[in-house]
Structure 1
C-alpha cells in the first residue's frame, strides 16, 4: 500500500431533506456517475459511482420504529439494486436480485419501504455485481436514531474504505482479477475515512460511528486524541460499554464509540509499515461546559438471547489459494457448493433457533454476513458473546453462532469480502 497520508478534511455527507408531503419520511437516491475527491484536495479527482452526486451517498437518518420510504432511481447504464445492510426488514425490501427482487434497470425507479426495529449504525450499498459497484462507490450511511437523544455534543459518522487507483486518482477498472479473488480479495492502493463532521472542540463528548464499507479490506483501527469506550457493534448496543485499544473491523462491520475529545481525533490503520493515517477530526477551541461523567450504556436492544438451539448445522468454508480441493464450480465454496443454488443451505420454521458452526478451512479470513437477522457469537467456552450481523472468522479457525430465525423469507448468507462472494462464497436460507 502506498503510505501517502490523507488530509483530514472532507465534504460533509449531506442529509437528504425529508418530504413534507408524506406522513412518513421519504428520500430519493439516484445512482449515477460522479466525480469524487478521494485523494487529498489538490490531487486528482476520481470518476466513479455514487448517489445524488456524491460518494459516499447522502446520510439517511430515520427514527426507530418509523416507516421510511426510499425511491431509488437508476441513472446508470447498467442495472443495480440497494441492500439496507443490517436492518431486520421485510424480505421483499432486502435488495438482493435473484432472491428478493429483479434488478432496477437503467432509467427505472424502485421504491423501498420498511420499518427499522433497531436504533443504531447501519449502511446501504449496491447488491448487484456488488464486488464492482461498491468498489466504484455505491454506498452510504443509514442511521436509525434512538427514541431519546444520546448525551453527546456531536454525532459523527465515519465511512472507511479503500480504492484501487493510479496516483492521479483514476480507478483501476479491474474487479475480477483471479489472483486477488483467490487470496484476500481485491485490495485498494489508497484508503481513507470520510467524516460527516470535520471539526469539534477539546472537551466535547462525541459519538463516533465507524462503518467499514471496503469491499475486502479488514481495518485494524487505532484512535488517538480522545478516550472513551465501545458502546455498540453492528448497530446493536452493548449491555456494558467496553474498553478498547485497537479495533478490528471486517468489511461491513460497524463500531460505535463514545469519546471525550482531548486533541485532534485521528484514525490510523495499523499496517506492517506502521500507522497509516485514515483521517482526522480537528479539535478547535475548548468546550468548558461539558463535565466529565462515566460513559453509560446505550438503550438496550430488544433481541432476546435464544434458548437451547433446535438444530446444529455446519457451514464449511472451502477453497481459495493454498486451500484444498472442493466440489464447487468456482474458486470458493460453502460445503462443497459454489454460488447461489436452487436449494438453500437450510430451511427454518419461523422462530426456530439454530447453532451454526462456521468452519474456516481456508488460508484467509472471512467476514460472514447473514441478511435479515442478527446472531450471537458463541465463545470457545460456550458463553454467549456479541450480537452481530457480520462475524470475522480467521483463517483455519472455527466460530459458532446462535440465531433465532424469526424473519420470514429468503435471506442471503455470504462472505462480505465481496471478491470472495463473487468467487463463489454465497448461499441462502429460507424461513417459513
Structure 2
C-alpha cells in the first residue's frame, strides 16, 4: 500500500491534526481569538461513507496552542442541534467549563460563544458534553505545548482514538441498556422509546443535563447474557472475547461491539502513515476519545517510555505496551532505530481482538497491510492496578494535612443496565461537598463488575492510594477504577462552583453515573 506520499508530514507535525501544522508565527502575530466550529463531516470507514460530527480549527480537526498562549476561542455551533463543548484537561472558570446548564445553556444552532482563560500545558482534548454527540465523534485533540516541548528535538504525533457505530447513538444506547442485542447485525431497537430519543437529542431529561436521559425505563429488566460483547451476567460462559478468567473474577469488559475502531478517523484498512526520520525521537500523544472502549497502546519493535499521563509528567516508565481508559491521555516517547523501516503503533481493544492504529515510516519504506483483527485477544486493562502503581508524578502536589475525606461507592449492573455513585443516579444524587482551598481526598470504591474511568472537572488530582496502599502516584483528571478495587485521589478544592464528577464510559454516564463536586467559598 503506497500511502507514504499521500500525506507528506513535516517533522514536528502531528498526524492528521491540522492545527498542529499551523506555523507558530501565525499564532504569535495575532491576538485575535481562534475560530472553532462544531460541524458535520464525512468519513470513509472501510469503504463506507459515514456522516459524523467534528470540531474544526484553523488547520483541521483540533487545536494546538504554544507556550504562554491564552485559550482565546470563538466557538460556533454549525450543527442543527444544540451543543456544548467541554475542554477536557483544562481548568477554565466554571462558567466556561462546558456542561449543559451548569451554568451556561447549550449553544443554539448558529450561535457563537467566546472563551478566554489561561491554557494548561499538556495533551488534552475537547468534546461535547452530550453523550450521544460524543458518540458521533464530536471531539478533537486540544494540545498545549510547553517550553520543554519546543526545546526538545522530537517529532510530535497525535493518535486520537474512537469507537464508532454506523447506527444512531440513541439506538446503540437502547441496545446496550435495553437488552435488544448488541454489536453487529442486531437490527433491533430502531425507534425504541421515542420519548427517550427525543430527550437524548433535545436535552429533555435530568434537569436538562441529558446525561440521565436513558433513565430507569430504558433498562427494562431485559436479560443481557445473550448480547454479543455484553460480557454476560457475572458468568464465565458469557464473557465474550475475554480469553478466560481474569484474576479469579468474572468481569464485564466490553458491553458493545462497535462497527469500527478509529485512530485519527481511520481504520487499519487505510491507516495514517506518518513520515519519520531514521533514528528520530517521537513524542506520541495518545488520546482515548472512545465512548466505551479501553485500549492498549503497543509500540512493537520501537523502544518506548511513558513520560506523561493526562497532560502531567511522570517519571519515565520503559515498555512497549501501555493502557488507557476513556478520557485518559498518554505521552509516549519513542526512539526509532537508525535505519529505514515502518513501525506500526497499534491500539488494541482490551479483552478482544479488534485493533486500530497508525504507522511510522521512513521515506520509501515498505508499508505492509495490517489486519484489523489480531490473532489473539488482548488482556483486560490494569485489573490489578499494576500500571497505575508504576506511575510517579514528576511534580507532585505539595504535602499538607487532609481537611476532608469522602468515599464514593461506584455501583451498578448489566441487568438492569444502571450505574450509580453512592447508590444514586444523576438527579437523585447528593453532591460531594468541599470548601475552596481545602485538601480533599476522594476514595473511589468500585463494587461493580465493570471498570469506571472517573473524571473530575475543574481540578487536577494526584493518585495517593491503590487498594489501601499509599502511593505518590500520577497527577490526573481521569482515573481508571477496576472492578472490586479502590483508588484514592487527593486534590485542592478550586473555584467555588458546581463541578461535574462522572464516569467517562458514555453508556454509564447516559444512565446516570454522575454526581457533582460542589465547592463553596472558604470562610
TM-score by structure 2 length?
A: 0.69
The equivalent of 1:406 in structure 2 is: 494
The equivalent of 1:145 in structure 2 is: 145
**Helix, strand or coil: the match of 2:132?**
helix
Could you tell me how far 1:20 is from its partner in structure 2?
Answer: 7.2
Could you tell me how far 1:100 is from its partner in structure 2?
Answer: 3.0
The equivalent of 1:99 in structure 2 is: 102
**Corresponding position: 1:231 with 2:324:** no
**Helix, strand or coil: the match of 2:508?**
helix
Could you tell me how far 1:401 is from its partner in structure 2?
Answer: 1.2
Contact 1:46/1:171 (<8 A) preserved:
no
- Partner of residue 362 from structure 2, selected from 258, 269, 283: 283
**Helix, strand or coil: the match of 2:362?**
strand
The equivalent of 2:33 in structure 1 is: 26
**Helix, strand or coil: the match of 2:414?**
coil
Q: CA RMSD in A?
A: 3.0
Contact 1:219/1:249 (<8 A) preserved:
yes
The equivalent of 1:317 in structure 2 is: 410
Number of equivalenced pairs: 395
Contact 1:315/1:359 (<8 A) preserved:
yes
- CA distance 1:411–1:45, change in 2 (3 Å): same
**Corresponding position: 1:84 with 2:87:** yes
Tell me how far apart the structure 1 counterparts of residues 19 and 420 of structure 2 sit (CA, whole Å).
40
The equivalent of 1:154 in structure 2 is: 155
Tell me how far apart the structure 1 counterparts of residues 89 and 128 of structure 2 sit (CA, whole Å).
14
**Corresponding position: 1:364 with 2:450:** yes
The equivalent of 1:269 in structure 2 is: 347
The equivalent of 1:326 in structure 2 is: none
Within 5 A, what are the aligned runs for 1:33-44? Answer: 33-39=40-46, 43-44=47-48
Could you tell me how far 1:208 is from its partner in structure 2?
Answer: 0.6
Task: Describe the superposition over 1:83-113 as per-residue Cα deviations: whole angstroms up to 9, x where unpaired.
Answer: 0001122111110012131100111111121
TM-score by structure 1 length?
A: 0.83
**Corresponding position: 1:336 with 2:423:** yes
Tell me how far apart the structure 1 counterparts of residues 275 and 496 of structure 2 sit (CA, whole Å).
44
The equivalent of 2:400 in structure 1 is: 307
Could you tell me how far 1:194 is from its partner in structure 2?
Answer: 1.4
The equivalent of 1:191 in structure 2 is: 261
The equivalent of 2:475 in structure 1 is: 387
The equivalent of 1:294 in structure 2 is: none
**Corresponding position: 1:212 with 2:277:** no
- Partner of residue 14 from structure 1, selected from 7, 15, 18: 18
- CA distance 1:103–1:171, change in 2 (3 Å): closer
Contact 2:396/2:474 (<8 A) preserved:
no
Task: Describe the superposition over 1:314-354 as per-residue Cα deviations: whole angstroms up to 9, x where unpaired.
Answer: 1111122168xxxxxx822111210145x752221111111
Task: Describe the superposition over 1:382-410 as per-residue Cα deviations: whole angstroms up to 9, x where unpaired.
Answer: 12211111001111211111111133322
Tell me how far apart the structure 2 counterparts of residues 310 and 95 of structure 1 sit (CA, whole Å).
29
Could you tell me how far 1:261 is from its partner in structure 2?
Answer: 1.5
The equivalent of 1:109 in structure 2 is: 112
Could you tell me how far 1:361 is from its partner in structure 2?
Answer: 1.1
The equivalent of 1:120 in structure 2 is: 122
Within 5 A, what are the aligned runs for 1:161-172? Answer: 161-165=162-166
Contact 2:291/2:504 (<8 A) preserved:
yes
Q: Which structure is higher in helix share? A: 2
Could you tell me how far 1:281 is from its partner in structure 2?
Answer: 2.3
Larger Rg: 2
- CA distance 1:355–1:172, change in 2 (3 Å): closer
Tell me how far apart the structure 2 counterparts of residues 58 and 120 of structure 1 sit (CA, whole Å).
17
**Helix, strand or coil: the match of 1:384?**
coil
The equivalent of 1:254 in structure 2 is: 329
Tell me how far apart the structure 2 counterparts of residues 155 and 224 of structure 1 sit (CA, whole Å).
19
Q: Which structure is higher in strand share? A: 1
- Partner of residue 352 from structure 1, selected from 431, 435, 438: 438
Tell me how far apart the structure 2 counterparts of residues 408 and 391 of structure 1 sit (CA, whole Å).
23
Task: Describe the superposition over 1:43-69 as per-residue Cα deviations: whole angstroms up to 9, x where unpaired.
Answer: 122111123399x96231113443221
Contact 1:345/1:429 (<8 A) preserved:
yes
Tell me how far apart the structure 1 counterparts of residues 273 and 344 of structure 2 sit (CA, whole Å).
13
Give 5+ residue unaligned stretches, structure 2.
Answer: 8-14, 183-213, 220-229, 231-253, 266-271, 366-392
**Helix, strand or coil: the match of 1:320?**
strand
Tell me how far apart the structure 2 counterparts of residues 366 and 135 of structure 1 sit (CA, whole Å).
17
**Helix, strand or coil: the match of 2:450?**
coil
Contact 1:219/1:250 (<8 A) preserved:
yes
